[in-house]
Amino acid sequence: MSKGKLNRLVIENYVDGWDDPRLMTLAGLRRRGVTSTAINAFVRGIGITKSDSSMIRLERLEYHVREELNKTASLAMVVLHPLKVVITNLEPSSIIDLDAKKWPDAPVDDASSYYKVG
Statement: the pTM of the whole predicted model exceeds 0.85: no
d(CA 1, CA 28) in angstroms, rounded, equals 14
Residue 85 near residue 59 (C-beta atoms within 8 A): no
In whole angstroms, what separates CA 108 from the centre of its chain?
21
Q: How confident is the model at residue 37 (pLDDT cuts 50, 70, 90)?
A: very high
Per-residue pLDDT band at 11 (split at 50, 70, 90): very high
| Class of the CATH domain delimited by 3-72 | mainly alpha
**Could you tell me the residue ranges of all domains in the chain?**
3-72
